[in-house]
Structure 1
Amino acid sequence: MAQVYYFRHYDIFSGLGQSQVSDIEQDRFGYIWLSTRGGGLSRFDGLHFTTYRKEDNLPANNILSLEIDAKDLMYIGTPFGLSIYDGKNTRPVHAPNRESYTVSSVIGDQKGNVYAICNASQLGKIVNDSLIFLKKSGAVRPSFYSDMSGTRDKKLMVSTYSGEIFEVTPKGLQSRYHTPDGMVLRCILFDTKDSLWLGTEKGVFRTSAHNSDIKIADLQFISKELAHEMTETSDGSIWMGLTTGAMRYQKGSLLKFGVQNGFTNFMVKGMLEDREGNIWFTTDGDGVYKFTNPAFTGLNATSGLSSNTISCFALAPDGKLWISYFDHGMDIWDTKTNKILPLPKPLLGKRVNCLAVDNEGNTWVGLAGAGVYKISKTAIEYIPLDAYLFSHGVTLFMEAGKGKEMWISTSNGLILHDGKQLHHYTSKEGLKGRFVRRTLQLNDNELIASGPGGLNILKNGNVYDFMYDRDLASFPALSMAKRDDGLLALGSFEDGIAVFDPKTRKKEYYTVKNGLCSNLIYNTIFDKQGRLWVGTERGIDLITIDKNLKISNIRHYNETDGFTARETNANTAFVAPNGELWIGTIKGLFRHRESNLKSRPEALKVHFTDVRIPFDTTDLAHYAQGQSKWNQVYDGLSLPNTKNQLRISFIAINHTRPDHVRYQYQLAGADEGWLGPTDQTAVVYSHLTPGCYRFKVRASYGDNHWGDISTYTFEIIPPFYQRWWFILLIAATLISLGILCQKLYIQYRTRRVLAYEKLKQEAEAAVRVQIAQDFHDELGNRLAAIRMQSNVLKLRYNGHESEEKRIVGEIEKNVVKLFRDTKDFIWSIDPESNQINELALYIKDLGENLLQDTPIHFHTDIRFPNEYENVHLPPGRSIQVIMIFKEALTNCVKHAQCQNIIFRATIENQMMSFALIDDGTGIIFPTEGYHKGLNNMRLRAERIHCHLSITPTPPKGTIVLLRGSIPTKTASPKSS
Structure 2
Amino acid sequence: MPKNKLLIVLFLAFGLFYWRPVYSQEFIKKHINYEDGLSNSQITTIKQDDWGYIWVGTEGGGVFRWDGKDLQPLSDSVKYDIIRDIAPSVEGFFWGASNGKLFKINPQHVFEQLPLSNYHPYAGDQIQHMYPMNAGVLTISFKGSLNLINNKGEILDNLNLPSREPGFKVIQKGDVLHLFNMDLYVSLKIIENRLHVIHQMPFSALMQNIGFQTSPSFIHLASEGWWIQNENKLLLLDDDFKIISTYHLPFSSRVTDLEEWEGYFWFATINGLFQTVKENKEFKLITQNLAFSIYDVLKTKDGLWIGALNGLYHFSKPLISKINLSEEDGAMSSYFGYATVGDEIWAGGTNKGIHIFNRNRRAKIDSIDFGERYRNAVRCFLPDGDSVWVGSGRGLVKMDPFSREYDTYPNMSSPVLSLVYYKNELAIGTSRNGLYLFDGNNFRNFNTTQGLDNATIWSMAVSGDSLWIGTERGLYLMEGDSIKALKINKKVDDLPITAIENIDNQTIAIGYAPGGVVLYDFTKSKIIHHFTDQNGLSSNFIYFLRKINGRLWVGGSLGVDIVNTENDFKSFQLREFAQLAGAETFSNGIIALTNEAWVSTIAGAIVIPYDILSPQNSKEFYPVYIERLEPLSFSSTDDFQKLVNDKGEIAIPYGHGSLKIHFNTAHFGTQSLSFVYQMDGYDPELSKPVNEKFAVYKQLPAGEYHFKVWRSISGERIGEPAQLSFIVTTPFYRTAWFRLVAVIIFIGLIIIYFAYRTHVKTQKTLQWAKVREEAQNDLRKEMAIDFHDEMGNHLAKIINLSGVLKMWGLAEEQNKVVDKIEKAASALFVSTKDMIWSLKKENNNLEEVYFNVRDFAEQLFDNSDVNLRTYKNAPAKHIVMNAKAGRDLSLIMKEALTNVYKHAKAKNVDLKIEVLPGNEAKISVSDDGNGCINEGQSKGNGLKNMKQRATRSGFIFNFQAKPAEGFNINIIIK
Same fold (TM over 0.5): yes
CA distance in 1 between partners of 2:122 and 2:722 (Å): 48
* Conserved? CA contact 2:559–2:583, under 8 Å: yes
- Listed as ranges, the matches of 1:404-423 within 5 Å are 405=426, 407-423=428-444
CA distance in 1 between partners of 2:456 and 2:325 (Å): 33
* Conserved? CA contact 2:353–2:368, under 8 Å: no
Tell me which of 77, 89, 92 is aligned to 1:72: 92
Q: What is the Cα deviation at residue 328 of structure 1? A: 5.4
Could you say if the C-alpha distance between residues 323 and 732 of structure 1 is closer, same or farther in structure 2, counting changes exceeding 3 Å? Answer: same
Tell me which of 705, 721, 742 is aligned to 1:694: 705
What per-residue deviation string (whole Å, max 9, x for no partner) do you get for residues 833-874 of structure 1? xxxxxxxxxxxxxxxxxxxxxxxxxxxxxxxxxxxxxxxxxx
What per-residue deviation string (whole Å, max 9, x for no partner) do you get for residues 274-322 of structure 1? 5xx3224124156445455444222134688443540324244232233
What per-residue deviation string (whole Å, max 9, x for no partner) do you get for residues 311-370 of structure 1? 324244232233344465553223356543343464487742324142124334444445
CA distance in 1 between partners of 2:278 and 2:132 (Å): 27
The residue matched to 1:412 in structure 2 has which SS?
A: coil
- Listed as ranges, the matches of 1:56-71 within 5 Å are 56-58=76-78, 60-71=80-91
Could you say if the C-alpha distance between residues 360 and 743 of structure 1 is closer, same or farther in structure 2, counting changes exceeding 3 Å? Answer: same
* Conserved? CA contact 1:246–1:256, under 8 Å: no
- Listed as ranges, the matches of 1:647-686 within 5 Å are 647-656=660-669, 659-666=672-679, 668=681, 671=683, 674-686=686-698
CA distance in 2 between partners of 1:49 and 1:18 (Å): 12
Q: What is the Cα deviation at residue 488 of structure 1? A: 1.9
Q: What is the Cα deviation at residue 67 of structure 1? A: 1.8
CA distance in 2 between partners of 1:4 and 1:238 (Å): 10
Aligned to 1:490: 510
Aligned to 2:474: 454
Extract unaligned runs of 5+ from structure 1: 629-633, 748-976
Aligned to 1:558: 575
Tell me which of 230, 253, 257 is aligned to 1:229: 257
Tell me which of 156, 180, 186 is aligned to 2:218: 186
CA distance in 1 between partners of 2:525 and 2:316 (Å): 42
Could you say if the C-alpha distance between residues 435 and 168 of structure 1 is closer, same or farther in structure 2, counting changes exceeding 3 Å? Answer: same
The residue matched to 1:540 in structure 2 has which SS?
A: strand
The residue matched to 1:731 in structure 2 has which SS?
A: helix
Aligned to 2:543: 522
The residue matched to 1:558 in structure 2 has which SS?
A: helix
The residue matched to 2:617 in structure 1 has which SS?
A: coil
What per-residue deviation string (whole Å, max 9, x for no partner) do you get for residues 595-619 of structure 1? 68763339975443343344x7x53
CA distance in 1 between partners of 2:154 and 2:650 (Å): 31
- Listed as ranges, the matches of 1:12-27 within 5 Å are 12=33, 13-27=35-49
Q: Percent identity?
A: 16
Aligned to 2:801: none
Tell me which of 385, 394, 399 is aligned to 1:360: 385
Aligned to 2:626: 608
Extract unaligned runs of 5+ from structure 2: 1-18, 760-974
Indicate the larger mover: 36-45 or 399-408: 399-408
Give the partner amino acid of 2:449: K
Q: What is the Cα deviation at residue 573 of structure 1? A: 0.8
- Listed as ranges, the matches of 1:437-586 within 5 Å are 437-443=458-464, 445-466=465-486, 474=494, 476-483=496-503, 485=505, 487-506=507-526, 507-527=528-548, 529-546=549-566, 548=567, 550-551=568-569, 553-558=570-575, 560-561=577-578, 563=580, 566-576=583-593, 578-586=594-602
- Listed as ranges, the matches of 1:656-805 within 5 Å are 656=669, 659-666=672-679, 668=681, 671=683, 674-688=686-700, 691-694=702-705, 696-702=707-713, 703-705=715-717, 707-708=720-721, 710-715=723-728, 718=731, 727-737=739-749
CA distance in 2 between partners of 1:295 and 1:396 (Å): 32
Alignment pair present for 1:434 and 2:455: yes
Could you say if the C-alpha distance between residues 700 and 345 of structure 1 is closer, same or farther in structure 2, counting changes exceeding 3 Å? Answer: closer
CA distance in 1 between partners of 2:336 and 2:550 (Å): 23
Aligned to 2:13: none
What per-residue deviation string (whole Å, max 9, x for no partner) do you get for residues 792-812 of structure 1? xxxxxxxxxxxxxxxxxxxxx
Aligned to 2:402: 377
Q: What is the Cα deviation at residue 201 of structure 1? A: 5.0
Q: TM-score, normalised on structure 1?
A: 0.62
Q: What is the Cα deviation at residue 429 of structure 1? A: 1.9
The residue matched to 1:730 in structure 2 has which SS?
A: helix
Q: What is the Cα deviation at residue 583 of structure 1? A: 0.5
- Listed as ranges, the matches of 1:801-950 within 5 Å are none
Tell me which of 603, 607, 622 is aligned to 1:591: 607
Give the partner amino acid of 1:646: L
Q: What is the alpha-carbon root mean square deviation over aligned residues?
A: 4.6
Alignment pair present for 1:219 and 2:239: no
Q: TM-score, normalised on structure 2?
A: 0.63
How many residues get paired? Answer: 708
* Conserved? CA contact 1:415–1:423, under 8 Å: yes
Alignment pair present for 1:314 and 2:342: no
Aligned to 1:242: 268
Give the partner amino acid of 1:681: K
Q: What is the Cα deviation at residue 504 of structure 1? A: 4.9
Q: What is the Cα deviation at residue 247 of structure 1? A: 5.2
Give the partner amino acid of 2:672: D
Q: What is the Cα deviation at residue 114 of structure 1? A: 1.9
Could you say if the C-alpha distance between residues 378 and 115 of structure 1 is closer, same or farther in structure 2, counting changes exceeding 3 Å? Answer: same
Q: Look at both structures and tell me which one has the larger radius of gyration over its CA atoms.
A: 1
Give the partner amino acid of 1:458: M
Alignment pair present for 1:284 and 2:304: no
The residue matched to 1:184 in structure 2 has which SS?
A: coil
Could you say if the C-alpha distance between residues 537 and 441 of structure 1 is closer, same or farther in structure 2, counting changes exceeding 3 Å? Answer: same
Could you say if the C-alpha distance between residues 355 and 561 of structure 1 is closer, same or farther in structure 2, counting changes exceeding 3 Å? Answer: same
What per-residue deviation string (whole Å, max 9, x for no partner) do you get for residues 180-235 of structure 1? 414626242354xx8445566545554443xx2x233x2375976775434578xx
Give the partner amino acid of 1:189: L
CA distance in 1 between partners of 2:61 and 2:398 (Å): 62
* Conserved? CA contact 1:46–1:655, under 8 Å: yes
Aligned to 2:806: none
Aligned to 2:839: none
Alignment pair present for 1:174 and 2:174: no
CA distance in 1 between partners of 2:93 and 2:639 (Å): 26
Could you say if the C-alpha distance between residues 481 and 11 of structure 1 is closer, same or farther in structure 2, counting changes exceeding 3 Å? Answer: same
Give the partner amino acid of 2:565: I
CA distance in 2 between partners of 1:671 and 1:232 (Å): 48
The residue matched to 2:515 in structure 1 has which SS?
A: coil
Indicate the larger mover: 584-593 or 251-260: 251-260
Tell me which of 60, 66, 73 is aligned to 1:44: 66
Could you say if the C-alpha distance between residues 75 and 329 of structure 1 is closer, same or farther in structure 2, counting changes exceeding 3 Å? Answer: farther
Could you say if the C-alpha distance between residues 62 and 315 of structure 1 is closer, same or farther in structure 2, counting changes exceeding 3 Å? Answer: farther
* Conserved? CA contact 1:692–1:716, under 8 Å: yes
Q: What is the Cα deviation at residue 248 of structure 1? A: 8.7
What per-residue deviation string (whole Å, max 9, x for no partner) do you get for residues 720-775 of structure 1? 7667765454333235456779999999xxxxxxxxxxxxxxxxxxxxxxxxxxxx
Give the partner amino acid of 2:331: S
Could you say if the C-alpha distance between residues 663 and 705 of structure 1 is closer, same or farther in structure 2, counting changes exceeding 3 Å? Answer: closer
What per-residue deviation string (whole Å, max 9, x for no partner) do you get for residues 16-65 of structure 1? 55554343323334432223344432223343222346xx1116344343
Q: What is the Cα deviation at residue 522 of structure 1? A: 2.1
Give the partner amino acid of 1:108: P
Q: What is the Cα deviation at residue 81 of structure 1? A: 5.0
- Listed as ranges, the matches of 1:252-331 within 5 Å are 269-272=295-298, 277-285=301-309, 287-290=311-314, 293-301=317-325, 305-307=329-331, 309-326=333-350, 330-331=354-355
